A and B are shown apart, each in its own frame.
Chain A
Amino acid sequence: MLRYILKRSLSLLVSLLIASVVIFAAVEVVPGDPASYMLGMNAQPDTLAALRDELGLNGSLIQRYLGWVGGMLQGDFGVSYTYRTPVAGMVADRLAVSLPLAIYALALSTAIAFPAGIWAAARRGRLGDTMVMGATQLGVAVPNFWFAMLMVLVFAIGLRWFPAGGFAGWDKGLWAGLHSLTLPAIALALPQAAILTRVMRSALIDALSEDYIRTARAKGLTRGQALRRHALRNALIPVLTIIGMQFSFLLAGAIIIENVFYLPGLGRLIFQAISARDLIVVESVVMILVFGVIVVNFAVDLAYAAVDPRLRARE
């Protein structure tokens, strides 16, 4: 196991290193000088030079890369060119919207997918199953930002149950915050729930065809009991993998939904930073997201290896 952990850790470090180089290089080729963006068209050359110096844009590529990575290792993600505030603080502010939104959406999608998947698997091939599977086909095909617009039309403009956009802020209380995140969370959850329902259903159906289910039935358990006590637990592994993947997707993938609802989340921060050529924000936020995904994958791999010795042997 130790050998496996060491090998995976090494591969984790290499991945992070390559990711940081790729992100740095990608952002470097973005045309446009941040200093001239900040000072406008009529800036004096000496003011420009002074600002470039202040922003640390004058060093060589390698110096700037090392400065960026070194800073991040110490928790310093740089200072935004446009807002003149530390990036770390901005990210923390935006995470206060994006993280609860992702958790909210994931909770909704799980709450829909578990019962729907179990129900469909238990009625495999019958009308209920066909209906659930039809609904999931629609769920994965609906563009979520369009679904969001339709919900705004019905629940915000028509029925006035929810705001059409914006975020109330957590200082107004938990309820006000959740209330303004409800429509975005539903829009994000819908396709995820459809995917998760399908995974849940097919994992359960696979598990139900195993020998231990036949044994359990032979012992006198009903089909439902065998499903709940034995099949469900074994079907959870692929389902949890998908939930893990969906969480990292929801954190970064809400850009478009954040745009529909004018939510001040992480996605909108990246979007605005790219338009304003606020490169340091783009670099750091993308790196944080990639870091999150790589580390989550690493943790999942280790957890599997701990549970299933066959995975260790395969490496």
Chain B
Amino acid sequence: MIAFRLGLFLVLVVLGAAAVSLVWVPQDVGAMAIANKLKPPTLAHPMGTDHFGRDVLSMIMVGARTSIAVALVAVGIGMGVGVPLGLAAAANRGGWLDEIIMRGNDLVFAFPSLVIAILITATFGPSAVNAILAIGIFNIPVFARVTRGAALSLWTRDWVMAARVAGKGRVRISVEHILPNVANLLIVQGTIQFSLGILAEAGLSYVGLGAQPPTPSWGRMLAESQTMISFAPHLAIFPGLAILFTVLGLNLLGDGLRDALDPRLRRSR
């Protein structure tokens, strides 16, 4: 429970910082003040300034928006496509549709995700939108598999049989009865994929394939700090901590939700 609360706290801090940055930041992230460059943390700049004299705290606050937006939309893509596929596969268990969907899943899993993400961003040009696409595609099989797995066991329940006797078709049963019962699992999986998305976005922007300048992003802040790490380590430390705490918060939140929503899982943990 402590872990869950800590996770919730961390996530709320990051969400709060991102929300506040929409209306207020300590210093405009576009404003450069070369005279003020590479200052270590002070009261005026709690996380120091970068090589253009920009306030690191402000950049991290605005960067949170990029990370959250990319990861959230990527989860949306994964759920939006993966869940219907998983429901369809379970409703047609053992049929050709099930076979095609599951083999397609295996195929996507066989591709090295990072390589494909790099290929996609290199093909269509580096941008936040293409990073979303690259991360989202690999969320699809994850949600399809989780949904199918959970739905398969639900299809054997008596209340599904009752719904069939009442004359409901597979689609209606999937939407009206199966989906609400797998929603818990999907929320938990969504939290996990969200945190993986934050890490993936950071990695892609680190190699220059995520959000492009002047949009601040945590990964690119780390990439830019690399050559200055020996004399301005604060440039590398704070964006990294931002990623670490966000991912940690989401993971703790996900674990806590899983325990709360499915007490049976507590046994093995």
Interface residues of A (CB under 8 A from B): 11, 14-15, 18-19, 22, 26-27, 29-31, 137-138, 140-143, 145-146, 149-150, 152-153, 157, 202, 205-206, 209, 248-249, 252-253, 255-256, 259-260, 267, 270-271, 274-275, 282, 286, 289-290, 293-294, 297
Which of A19, A149, A209, A297 has most chain B Cβ within 10 Å? Answer: A149
Q: A202-B269, A205-B268 are in contact. Are A297 and B248 (CB under 8 A)?
A: no
Task: Indicate if the CB atoms of A19 and B123 lie closer than 8 Å.
Answer: no
A145 in contact with B230 (CB, 8 Å): no
Nearest A residue (CB) for B218: A143
By the criterion CB–CB under 8 Å, are A259 and B207 in contact? yes
- Give Cα distance in the complex from A275 to B125, angstroms: 11
Give chain B nearest CB distance to A276 CB in angstroms: 10
* Residue among A22, A142, A267 facing the most chain B CB atoms (10 A cut-off): A142
A residues in contact with B229, CB < 8 Å: 149, 152-153, 157
- Cα distance, A290 to B106, chains bound together (Å): 11
Question: B222, A149: Cβ atoms under 8 Å?
Answer: yes
Hey, what's the 0/1 contact readout for B120-142 against A, CB within 8 Å counting as 1?
00110000000000000000000
Q: Which of B115, B225, B229, B230 has the most CB of A within 10 A?
A: B115
Stretch at the interface among B22-30, B182-190, B239-247: B239-247
Q: How far is the CB of A170 from chain B (nearest CB, A)?
A: 25
Cβ of B103 within 8 Å of any chain A Cβ, yes or no, is yes
Task: Write the nearest CB–CB distance from A258 to chain B, whole angstroms.
Answer: 10
**Chain B: interface size category:** 35 or more
Query: In residues 79-130 of chain B, which contact A (Cβ within 8 Å)?
Result: 103, 106-107, 109-116, 118-119, 122-123
With beta carbons under 8 angstroms apart, the residue of B230, B239, B240, B252 that contacts A137 is B252
From residue 183 to 199 of chain B, which have CB atoms closer than 8 A to chain A?
Answer: 195, 199
Tell me, yes or no, whether B202 is within 8 Å of chain A by CB. yes
Name the A residues within 8 Å of B233 (CB-CB).
Answer: 153
A37 vs B173: C-alpha distance in the bound complex, in angstroms? 55
Contacts of A26 in B (CB 8 A): 116, 119, 123
- Listed by A's residue number, 20 A-B pairs whose Cβ atoms lie within 8 Å are A15-B110, A137-B248, A141-B245, A141-B248, A143-B244, A145-B203, A146-B236, A146-B243, A152-B229, A153-B236, A205-B268, A252-B112, A255-B118, A255-B207, A256-B114, A256-B206, A259-B207, A260-B226, A286-B119, A289-B112
Asked if B58 CB lies within 8 Å of chain A CBs, one says: no
Closest to A153 in B: B229
B111–A290 contact, CB under 8 A? yes
Known: A146-B236, A149-B226. A19 touches B111 (CB 8 A): yes
Is B174 interfacial (CB-CB < 8 Å)? no
Q: Nearest Cβ distance between residue B153 and chain A, in whole angstroms?
A: 15
Pick the contact of A270 from B3, B118, B237 — CB < 8 Å? B118
A297 touches B106 (CB 8 A): yes
A294 and B236 within 8 A (CB): no
- Listed from nearest, the 6 A-B pairs whose CB atoms lie closest are A252-B112, A146-B240, A141-B248, A141-B247, A274-B122, A293-B110
